[in-house]
Amino acid sequence: MKNIVIIIKLLPFVVSIFGIFAVIADLGFEHPLYKWETFQFIYLCAMCIGVISILSRYFFKNPRPKLNVILIDLLLVLYILILVFIDLEMLIKNHFSFMLFLKERIWVFIALFLIFIRELSSTTFDFKRIMINPAQLFILSFLFIIAVGCGLLLLPKATYTNISFIDALFTSTSAVCVTGLVVVDTGSYFTEFGRYIILLLIQLGGIGIMTFTSYFSFFFKAGSSYENQLLLSAMTNTEKIGEVFDTLKKIILITLIIEAIGALLIFQSIDIETIPSVFDRTFFSIFHSISGFCNAGFSTLQNSFYDPAYRFNYPIHLIISFLIILGGIGFPIVFNLLNFVKKFIKNIFFNSILQKQFNHQPKIINVNSRIVLATTSILIVMGTSLFYVFEYNNTLAEHGFWGKIITAFFGSVTARTAGFNTVDTSLLAIPTTLIMLILMWIGASPGSTGGGIKTSTFALAFLNFLSLAKGKPRIEVFKSEIAQNSVNRAFAIITLSILVIFISIFSISMFEPKIGLLNISFECISAFGTVGLSRGITASLSNPSKFIIIITMFIGRVSMLTVLIAFFKKLAHHKYRYPTEEILIN
């Protein structure tokens, strides 16, 4: 009897999975028109069972869903019922003619996806019984998305011509790891279905699939186990366990808001003559907004923004640049800045309008935010200045005064994990190339959508140099002392990054002896920093070299330190210490 109850509970979730597989088969494979009736029947069954499952939670399940879920479920049920009635031709009358647009299959696909999310969120996953630590789960979640993405890109209708397994794996890894290196042109090689897959992979890879699934699970189930919260707090770097799901909600909400604003601004900046179709302009805007904020660097343009139609479109360059900065600065910093702005506005309101004076002003911008913001600003300014100087008579020669500044600014920003380009990267001067290598290696900030060793790591290393030069035994900045554990992690990350990059360069140089060392180094550092910039050698790499780049992109996204933590068992803290000894260094 117990097994029957379990089967009944899991039936809606299993049916929703079949519905998703049917959508994939429908979109991904060529099939005769008469088979549409079979798919239509599967979709109808999945939607009906989905409605029954949602409604049954309010009549038979205890405890019932919380109040703020009722509205979501009510709208979802209403939406599905309208689709079912339209499908059964029960609403096609003069009074409901305005709903005929819902006969398009895309609305059914959206409904099935929402049902799947709803059922997945209501399914209980007990991480306590799974012998897995946060680092392992983090790595496995990325491997899972990469594998699924690779499978989807191999579908016949995802590309105009058949794609090889290694190229599909490369593209999926590049999208999930938000790198942007491509072996085939995204805009011309992949169909509309294939580009949608890549866009979804970028979004899931940028924020993380665990962020989405964990938050929706918490939202619909109104709670989570203590073990799950501990696991997620470690993955999201949340200090307070009770704020884990609030943090996840903020990440999703801020991401969607920024991407929506970015898409709207890009849409307004596109010349109608360049993209006449409203639908194509909308997709172009959404694709590049998500790709920009997630620091992915994927573009539907063959030469990215170096394309003649966009090379001098400086408003789009600025929009993409600020999307890259916001995505690469890190969610903790964004939260901290929003809190500062909120407190600032609140103080102005009380001081000016209510004529009340607050004497106590807490330090809202924490040390971590100050370090990241200072380092990011310095890197952007220095990168822009040096790019401007070294490329003035080279790749910037075709631009005017403001065009040179904006293009140099874009080049400085995109080098730190984004991967878009407005100039021909292969024509960059050697000094500029070396500067970009450093920027790609440093990358974005912690807790962001970007890669690299991170700005805070680089800042701690630099501050440590200064402290040692001054003879200070500790690092002090902004009237605070940096914990030794942070310093240890910083130097471990730097050392491991150099090791991974060296092995990658060494390995590819053996397989590609005819490609120059500078080109290989540029490619490997770009892959590790999840940047996506290339000097034009990616598509010509052999399969072994592509596989090395795949591994390098993956390690760059999850970090080598996380990989080591995943494989080594964490030791308990011992209540003893050995005698301290000084080691000769120089």
Q: What is the DSSP string of 455-518?
A: HHHHHHHHHHHHHHHTT-SS-EETTEEPPHHHHHHHHHHHHHHHHHHHHHHHHHHHH-TTS-HH
In the DSSP assignment, the letter for residue 90 is: S
pLDDT of residue 230: 47
Half-sphere exposure of 271 (CA within 13 A, CB side): 9
pLDDT over 90 percentage in the chain: 25
- How many of the other CB atoms lie within 10 Å of CB of 374? 14
- Judge contact between 503 and 527, C-beta under 8 A: no
- How many of the other CB atoms lie within 10 Å of CB of 373? 18
First to last CA, the chain: 73
Cα 302 from Cα 471, distance rounded (Å) = 53
Lowest mean pLDDT across 190-199, 234-243, 256-265, 289-298: 234-243
Does the structure show a pLDDT above 80 at 468? yes
- Judge contact between 452 and 529, C-beta under 8 A: yes
Does the structure show a pLDDT above 80 at 433? yes
| Phi and psi, residue 477, nearest 5° | -150, 140
**Interval 461-488 mean pLDDT:** 84
Encode pLDDT of 245-268 as tens digits: 566 677 778 888 999 999 999 999
- Judge contact between 556 and 529, C-beta under 8 A: yes
Cα 127 from Cα 43, distance rounded (Å) = 32
pLDDT of residue 171: 93
Cα 307 from Cα 38, distance rounded (Å) = 44
Q: Is the peptide bond before 63 cis (omega within 30 degrees of 0)?
A: yes
Of residues 374 and 226, the one with the higher pLDDT is 374
**Interval 212-221 mean pLDDT:** 45
Does the structure show a pLDDT above 50 at 557? yes
Residue 355's pLDDT band (cuts 50, 70, 90): low
Of the candidates 275, 200, 314, the one whose C-alpha atom is nearest the C-alpha of residue 305 is: 314
Q: At what angle do helices 543-558 and 134-153 cross, to 10 degrees?
A: 140
Average pLDDT of the residues of the chain: 80
Of the candidates 128, 349, 150, 145, the one whose C-alpha atom is nearest the C-alpha of residue 230 is: 128
Does the structure show a pLDDT above 70 at 75? yes
Encode pLDDT of 529-550 as tens digits: 888 888 888 888 999 999 999 9
- How is residue 440 written in tokens? 């790609």
Of residues 494 and 572, the one with the higher pLDDT is 494
Does the structure show a pLDDT above 50 at 216? no
**Interval 267-278 mean pLDDT:** 88
Encode pLDDT of 148-165 as tens digits: 999 999 998 889 888 899
Of residues 213 and 52, the one with the higher pLDDT is 52
**Interval 515-519 mean pLDDT:** 89
480 membership: H or E segment, kind and range: strand 480-481
In the DSSP assignment, the letter for residue 130 is: S
Does the structure show a pLDDT above 60 at 218? no
- Judge contact between 493 and 453, C-beta under 8 A: yes
**Interval 172-198 mean pLDDT:** 89
Does the structure show a pLDDT above 60 at 209? no
Burial category of 569 from C-beta neighbours within 10 Å (exposed 0-12, middle 13-18, buried 19 and up):
exposed
Does the structure show a pLDDT above 50 at 555? yes
Residues whose CB falls within 8 Å of the CB of residue 369, separated by 6 or more in sequence, listed in order: 332, 333, 336, 337
Residue 221's pLDDT band (cuts 50, 70, 90): very low
Does the structure show a pLDDT above 60 at 199? yes
- How is residue 196 written in tokens? 């949608």
Residue 122's pLDDT band (cuts 50, 70, 90): low
Rounded to whole angstroms, what are the CA distances from 32 to 25, 37, 38, 160, 287?
A: 12, 10, 11, 18, 31
Half-sphere exposure of 515 (CA within 13 A, CB side): 25
**Interval 211-235 mean pLDDT:** 46
CA 533 to chain centre: 17
pLDDT of residue 235: 47
Does the structure show a pLDDT above 80 at 202? yes
- How is residue 395 written in tokens? 């790749």
Of residues 331 and 409, the one with the higher pLDDT is 409
Amino acid at position 547, single letter: F
pTM: 0.84
In the DSSP assignment, the letter for residue 574 is: P
Q: What angle do CA 366, 415, 297 make, to 5 degrees?
A: 100
Does the structure show a pLDDT above 50 at 345? yes
